[in-house]
Structure 1
């Protein structure tokens, strides 16, 4: 899909500015400590509220821009997400951290596909919940949407699941860490490898101490780095299913862009101020995409999903903590 913005009418520009303003407000509210929810979660909730009360009257005029924010803008934001990472971070957790992140991803996705079939869930929902649990929460779910061509309702269900159980994991570790048979380094690896969102990892580990937080955030960034190869695999996996003859494998350009941005970040070509500006712009674009998703989400459609996605997310939550602890002890 082209990255060109549909600006044939003034309403498109007005809609884009409004999305940007509301997204900026979500980010600012989080930075100032007015709300504890992440900007992404706050944006989807705000979008859902506006979508039920008022947006219907503007949907005809603004729908093109909202769709653009959920499509090309989102893919650009996922590519720029690579600027949050540096290959130097791998050295700080060692080969054990790399293996832990890779195993967590592989086991979680495999379990999600197997358990989804047992629960009678469709493959799209299973992969969305699995990716959000295994990699980086809402950002991973959004990144997978374009590959899977999943509906907004399925994406909203998956995001709700991973945010709920990611929040529970964020609360669990500060309360239970004294009972876990791990060193501070191992605890940082465990938190980084098993908590869903980047912000949740920072909060959970920061509530313990700074050394644990440093290791946890680096380990989490390794999981985020696996988003690009996972998207490449997902494109192959999704299109290896029965399809019309002549359909070609689609390689997601934003996954390759993600890797390229990571390499640029690692090369130290950009100053700290420039990197900070790019990362803020990326967060703004991700938040705009989440707000657009919320605008097109109807709570009745989410409720129809039932309790099966929640059961899957709960099982993956237990697997991440229990399996993550076993793997951490085995690899370090």
Structure 2
């Protein structure tokens, strides 16, 4: 990708995406955008899509390798560094009930999404990407799955769009449900686990949790975020399992000949390794939160910028024509998964937390 002779043109493509990403960070700080909890990642893909549908044809083809570099290598390193946001201590802090609820929600959402995708006659890649985003952590999960599924960029963008729409809706819906008494049948702990295990993005969970419990006096905001982080940790094992399953299917369909090649997402193991390292650093530094670990805030900022670059690059590969080709079915799928998360997640949380 950065071979000698083509290095300058590739760097031009990377620089273009970096400039868009800087703009995304600036826009994300605008008060109205911040109130909507639109992260730089979401702003980045929107900017990329605007570019794709306006000035994309004027981009020199020699710059394209730089854009693809951002959607591949930069993305993988961004997922690895995402582990600096998490620690194993977070799992112990909320206990077994949150882990069990997260496992049920993630498993049923992915498997149910793939099955619904078949019934709706949606292509397998789009259904799998949409289900993974709904199941784990929204856009970040879709980005993590992209190198494993190996689908076209526009399918990734469609999956991201669906989780952004329904995740943002949830961020406003859950506080309304809480304030109007619709969640009175739950304890504060159950409300927190329910919120963390069913909302799409980490930002959505934080926004909803703070709206319900601004000072965290009831423990809703903190426990909801921790429950969500446990769900994020499930990204690595899900990607590994996904790699083995997809490799087997490609072999059966004749997509590969000779020795079977398993698409093991090695960056997922790096993600797990970083979580372990972060846990060790937290212990050695004797701090209560990961943000207090020296340089952790800087690393998180760099990581967010790298993921924003990846999202922006994917956006530049996505035109409205490709959305039209996909039709409304992916959004119907995401809507059905959303109903399951809101309604099914409620009963799963009540049952599991009540039993354990």
TM range (shorter): over 0.9
Paired residues of 2:202 and 2:228 also in contact (CA < 8 A): yes
How far 1:53 sits from its partner (Å)?
1.7
Deviation of 1:5 after TM superposition, in Å, equals 7.8
Secondary structure at 2:212's aligned position in 1?
coil
Contact 1:6 1:65 in 2 (8 A): no
Partner residue of 1:314?
A: 335
> Once the 2 structures are TM-superposed, how far is the Cα of residue 14 of structure 1 from its aligned partner?
3.4
Say whether the 8 Å CA contact 1:12–1:64 is kept in structure 2.
yes
**2:191 paired with 1:187:** yes
For residue 30 of structure 1, what is the aligned residue in structure 2? 28
Contact kept, 8 Å, 1:188 with 1:212, in 2: the verdict is yes
1:13 deviates by: 2.6
Note the C-alpha offset of 1:61: 2.8
Deviations 1:165-214 (A, max 9, x none): 11111111011112111111111111100000111111111111122110
In structure 1, C-alpha distance between the alignment counterparts of 2:323 and 2:30, rounded to whole Å? 31
The answer to whether the 8 A contact 1:198-1:220 is kept is yes
* Unaligned segments of structure 1, at least 5 residues: none
TM-score of the superposition, structure 1-length normalised?
0.95
Tell me, in whole angstroms, the C-alpha distance in 2 between the residues paired with 1:166 and 1:279: 22
Q: In angstroms, what is the RMSD of aligned CA positions? A: 1.7
SS at match of 2:96: helix
Match of 2:62 in 1: 61
Q: How many residues align?
A: 330
SS state at 2:95 partner: helix
Could you list the per-position Cα deviations for residues 258-315 of structure 1 after superposition, in whole angstroms to 9, with x for gaps in the alignment? 0001001111267623111111111000000000001111111112111111111111
Say if 1:26 and 1:39, in contact at 8 Å, map to a contact too: yes
Q: Distance in 2 between matches of 1:261 and 1:33?
A: 33
What is residue 277 of structure 2 aligned with on the other side?
264
Greater Cα offset, 314-323 or 20-29: 20-29
Secondary structure of 1:136's counterpart equals coil
Deviation at 1:32, TM superposition (A): 4.8
Alignment of 1:150 with 2:171, yes or no, is no
CA distance in 2, matches of 1:11, 1:116: 40
2 CA distance for matches of 1:87 and 1:31? 31
Number of the residue aligned with 2:289: none
Give the aligned partner of residue 94 of structure 1: 95
The alignment status of 1:234 with 2:242, answered yes or no, reads yes
Q: In the alignment, what sits opposite 1:276?
A: 297
Relative to structure 1, the CA distance from residue 184 to residue 240 in structure 2 (aligned partners, 3 Å threshold; closer, same or farther) is same
Contact 2:17 2:312 in 1 (8 A): yes
Alpha-carbon distance, 1:59 to partner: 3.8
- Confirm or deny that 1:244 pairs with 2:257: yes
Contact 1:5 1:68 in 2 (8 A): no
**2:15 is the counterpart of 1:17:** yes
Distance 1:109 1:296 in 2: 26
Distance 1:116 1:324 in 2: 20
1:25 Cα offset (Å): 2.6
Gaps in structure 2 of 5+ consecutive residues: 286-291
Cα distance in structure 2, aligned partners of 1:14 and 1:198: 32
Structure 1 counterpart of 2:267: 254
**Contact 1:7 / 1:13 at 8 angstroms: preserved in 2?**
no
Residues 240-262 of structure 1: per-residue CA shift (max 9 Å, x gap): 11142312212111000000010
Aligned counterparts of 2:111 and 2:12: Cα–Cα separation in 1: 44
